[in-house]
Amino acid sequence: MATTIELSELTGAYVVDTGHTRIGFIARHTMSTRVRGRFGEFEGSAHLDGDEPSKSSAQLTIQAKSIDTGNPQRDDLLGKKFFGVGDHPTITFTLTRVEQSDSTTITVTGDLTMRGVTKPVTVDFELTRADIDGQGAFRVGLTGSVTINRKDWGVHWKAALGMVSPKVTLEFDVALIRQS
């Protein structure tokens, strides 16, 4: 259930709660209906300025080798061939703009970098939580997704031509903890 909140109420410095955050993806494969996966190693921080959203900042760094589709052989192949983890060990997102769309949705635009290629992406996030937890910390929960064309970032491998759809849906279930 979404929480109605003013963006100004979210003002503050945050860190990503990696234990309660999921960064995943869905890709269509010719051999099966869909392949779902996630990244297990990442870190991020944000400073949200609800009064002047243009002053907000955030960044997320994902270790590309931490890909997990439930199949270690496929994960190794994806890491090496698709993401080129030897030369490009991280995937990064840097916030460039945030706006409140309505009482429970914020639109986040930023630069996504994979394989050394940077392109803008925009994600609509639904606010799912904004309250004090049992330990007295202010937490914000957000969920969103965006579909990208992986080829725009050079994420491909010749042998997989046509086997994996170029369209990949990125999924975010993010938990942020406000810092004192």
Q: Is the dihedral of CA 3, 17, 35, 167 positive or negative?
A: positive
> pLDDT tens digit string along 90-139?
999 999 999 888 888 889 999 999 999 999 999 999 999 999 999 999 99
Give CA separation, 160 vs 16, 39, 106, in Å. 34, 21, 36
CATH code (residue 41): 2.40.128.110
Any domain includes 113: yes
Any domain includes 2: no
The distance of Cα 129 from the centroid of its chain, to the nearest Å, equals 17
- Mean pLDDT, rounded, for 158-165: 59
- Lookup result for tokens 């409140």: 100
> How many domains would you assign to the chain?
1
Any domain includes 158: yes
What value, to the nearest 5°, has the Cα angle with vertex 153 and ends 59 and 108? Answer: 35
> pLDDT tens digit string along 12-57?
999 999 999 999 999 877 666 788 999 999 999 999 888 888 889 9
pLDDT of residue 126: 93
Any domain includes 24: yes
Any domain includes 75: yes
Which residue segment(s) compose the domain that 16 sits in?
A: 7-178
The predicted model scores a pTM of: 0.89
Residue type, 121: V
Any domain includes 80: yes
